[in-house]
């Protein structure tokens, strides 16, 4: 259906692909993986024809329709979200546009002499519109938007008034409604809450076309794909299985490659030792010569390349008191919307609370109240004795001074620290060499998130308050963060839509629902087992 045949591609001085082969077949659901900058987006752009390979070819079967979702949604304004989604529905949207033009023409008195032709054409177009399911289109568009957590009010709102994250969902909904023969989805799980993510998962499982997608959400990927294409050192390697199988297989391949390399190195060392020992003896000249020739002909094995990964390490934090945070009779509203009406909640030392609830339930508000960046309208929020808090929010990423370099930002926050300790801190979070001289405005979302974490953790807190800490992190960095937090000895309160993060790190669940606030003594896995749902209001 879509084939990459012997493709090579260079991006400025960097070789992305070198004589690479891969294929996306009908009905296949494929995960595209590779480190940041490996060329995943370039691969998508070559399929759509926005870019061309330097050599080789990308061939798409004739007549195959392709829907491409990426993070660059462009300008959207002037019509409702539902109209914007319907406009991207492939051939039917063009027919709908002609139908609207003909309806306007039939009402135009100045075109009365053309009316017979207009009415005849209207009949033809209307029949085609019906044949393409046009009259069900609005209902389907609303269904998709509802799945992505839009309220009816938001669906009819001018799309220009929506935030960037919600516009991203509109762009995604356009592709889903289109149901093309092949979908290319570049990070569709970004900016989605857990409920939307679970809905999208079910939608994609039921989609019958071919799917090629990237995602930083391991659980999401595992549940949808049955094949992985990995970009590795200019090549495209295919694995028949989900992401977990790919990880196991890759680790096994690396182990075998390492063993092969070590065996050959041992053999080469033995041969070289013989040559060195006997090269000066005439009696062994022919043996030495034949061994030299043999070594020249041997194809050398390479050791497996180790992917650079960030190694987070939390230094031991000072012990806090037993009561870390106490909320008593807390009331909070925004305008007419009541968020909390008499909330009582206590966090004790070593507890790891994950906060769950649909959009607008008050998850981030709770974290802001505890972090003292928002005040309750009534009631009290008390942080306990000897508590040193680290608060991570998306707002903190937006507050970085774009003109300051990464290293200058660290110096601004810790003027007493010496350069060596700040460079060591930057290194722990994956910033080495010239990386520390980058200005904050050129940092990617993931790099900004890592910098904010570095700022938060220089003086280790004993209470972490984290609002979607994994939003911009790639799979490898996210995995390292989970491992580090698993060993963290403090208390945690966090919001996340990443089910692996939730399951690995929580030992308490606070569920916010319209019916009230519920507390669960076990972690996320126990919550799923006891409620039969992966998120509030969704039944599996």
The full DSSP string for 350-386 is: T-EEEEEESTTSSHHHHHHHHTTSS--SEEEEEE-TT
pLDDT value of position 306: 65
pLDDT value of position 461: 92
User: How many other CB atoms sit within 10 Å of the CB of residue 148?
Assistant: 24
Give the whole-angstrom CA distance, residue 246 versus residue 226. Answer: 10
Q: Which helix (H) or strand (E) holds 338?
A: strand 337-348
On the CB side of 463, CA atoms within 13 Å amount to: 20
Give the whole-angstrom CA distance, residue 42 versus residue 39. Answer: 5
List Cα–Cα distances, 320 to 386, 389, 399, 485, 491, in angstroms: 5, 10, 29, 17, 9
pLDDT value of position 397: 81
Q: What are the DSSP calls for 437-480, one per residue? A: GSBGGG--HHHHHHHHHHHHHSS--SEEEEESTTTT--HHHHHH
Q: Is 525 left (phi over 0), alpha (psi -120 to 50) or beta?
A: alpha
List Cα–Cα distances, 529 to 112, 369, 526, 532, in angstroms: 68, 30, 5, 6
pLDDT value of position 309: 61
pLDDT value of position 21: 92
Contact indicator for 373, 394 with CB cutoff of 8 Å: no
pLDDT value of position 146: 94
Give the whole-angstrom CA distance, residue 159 versus residue 85. Answer: 10
Our measurement of the distance from residue 457's CA atom to the centroid of its chain's CA atoms, rounded to an integer in Å, reads: 23
3-class secondary-structure state, position 162: coil
pLDDT value of position 540: 42
Contact indicator for 71, 148 with CB cutoff of 8 Å: no
Q: Is 70 left (phi over 0), alpha (psi -120 to 50) or beta?
A: beta
Give the whole-angstrom CA distance, residue 156 versus residue 119. Answer: 31
Q: What are phi and psi of 3, to 5 degrees?
A: -130, 140
Could you state, in chain order, the average pLDDT of each consecutive group of 10 residues for the chain (540 residues)?
Answer: 92 87 94 87 93 93 92 82 83 80 89 88 89 83 94 92 90 92 93 91 95 94 95 91 91 89 90 86 83 87 71 79 96 92 95 92 94 95 94 85 92 89 84 88 86 85 93 84 89 95 96 91 94 76
pTM over 0.75: yes
Nearest to 496 by CA among 466, 540, 526: 466
Give the whole-angstrom CA distance, residue 473 versus residue 169. Answer: 19
Residue corresponding to tokens 């595209």? 32
Q: Six-digit token pair at 333?
A: 């509203």
Q: Six-digit token pair at 308?
A: 């650079």
Q: What is the DSSP letter of 430?
A: T
Contact indicator for 296, 268 with CB cutoff of 8 Å: no
Nearest to 387 by CA among 345, 328, 327, 324: 324
Q: What are phi and psi of 14, to 5 degrees?
A: -100, 130
Residue corresponding to tokens 């005849």? 120
Q: Six-digit token pair at 331?
A: 């009331």
Contact indicator for 92, 133 with CB cutoff of 8 Å: yes
Q: Six-digit token pair at 397?
A: 């990423």
């Amino acid at each position: 259906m879509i084939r990459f045949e012997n493709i090579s591609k260079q991006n400025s001085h960097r070789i992305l692909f070198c004589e690479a082969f891969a294929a996306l077949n009908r009905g296949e659901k494929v995960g595209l993986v590779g480190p940041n900058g490996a060329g995943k987006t370039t691969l998508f752009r070559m399929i759509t024809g926005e870019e061309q390979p330097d050599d080789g070819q990308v061939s798409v079967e004739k007549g195959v329709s392709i829907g491409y979702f990426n993070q660059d949604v462009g300008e959207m304004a002037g019509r409702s979200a539902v109209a914007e989604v319907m406009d991207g529905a492939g051939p039917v949207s063009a027919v709908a546009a002609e139908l609207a033009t003909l309806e306007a023409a039939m009402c135009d008195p100045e075109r009365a002499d053309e009316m017979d032709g207009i009415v005849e054409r209207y009949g033809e177009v209307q029949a085609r519109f019906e044949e393409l399911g046009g009259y069900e289109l609005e209902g389907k568009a609303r269904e998709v938007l509802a799945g992505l957590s839009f309220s009816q009010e938001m669906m009819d709102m001018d799309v220009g008034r929506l935030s960037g994250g919600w516009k991203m969902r509109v762009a995604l909904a356009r592709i889903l409604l289109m149901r093309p023969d092949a979908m290319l989805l570049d990070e569709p799980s970004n900016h989605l809450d857990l409920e939307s993510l679970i809905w999208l998962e079910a939608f994609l499982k039921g989609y019958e076309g071919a799917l090629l997608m990237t995602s930083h959400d391991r659980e999401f990927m595992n549940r949808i794909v049955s094949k992985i294409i990995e970009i590795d050192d200019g090549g495209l390697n295919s694995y028949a299985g989900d992401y977990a199988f790919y990880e196991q297989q890759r680790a096994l391949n690396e182990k075998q490659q390492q063993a092969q390399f070590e065996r050959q190195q041992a053999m080469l060392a033995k041969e070289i030792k013989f040559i060195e020992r006997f090269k000066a003896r005439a009696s062994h000249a022919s043996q030495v010569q034949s061994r030299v020739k043999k070594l020249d002909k041997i194809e050398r094995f390479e050791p497996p390349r180790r992917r650079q990964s960030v190694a987070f390490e939390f230094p031991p934090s000072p012990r806090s008191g037993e009561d870390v945070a106490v909320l008593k009779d807390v009331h909070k509203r925004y305008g007419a919307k009541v968020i909390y009406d008499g909330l009582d909640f206590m966090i004790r030392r070593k507890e790891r609370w994950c906060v769950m609830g649909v959009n607008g339930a008050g998850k981030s508000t709770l974290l802001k109240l505890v972090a003292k960046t928002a005040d309750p309208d009534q009631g009290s929020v008390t942080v306990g004795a000897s508590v040193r808090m680290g608060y991570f929010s998306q707002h903190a990423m937006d507050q970085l001074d774009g003109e300051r370099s990464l290293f200058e930002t660290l110096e601004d926050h810790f003027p007493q620290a010496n350069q060596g300790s700040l460079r060591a801190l930057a290194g722990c979070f994956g910033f080495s060499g010239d990386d520390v001289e980058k200005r904050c405005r050129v940092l990617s979302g993931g790099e900004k998130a890592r910098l904010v974490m570095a700022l938060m953790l220089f003086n280790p807190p004993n209470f972490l308050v984290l609002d979607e800490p994994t939003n911009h992190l790639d799979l490898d960095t996210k995995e390292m963060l989970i491992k580090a937090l698993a060993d963290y000895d403090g208390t945690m309160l966090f919001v996340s839509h990443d089910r692996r993060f939730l399951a690995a790190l929580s030992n308490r669940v606070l569920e916010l629902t319209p019916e009230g606030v519920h507390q669960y003594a076990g972690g996320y896995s126990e919550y799923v087992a006891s409620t039969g749902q992966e998120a509030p209001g969704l039944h599996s």
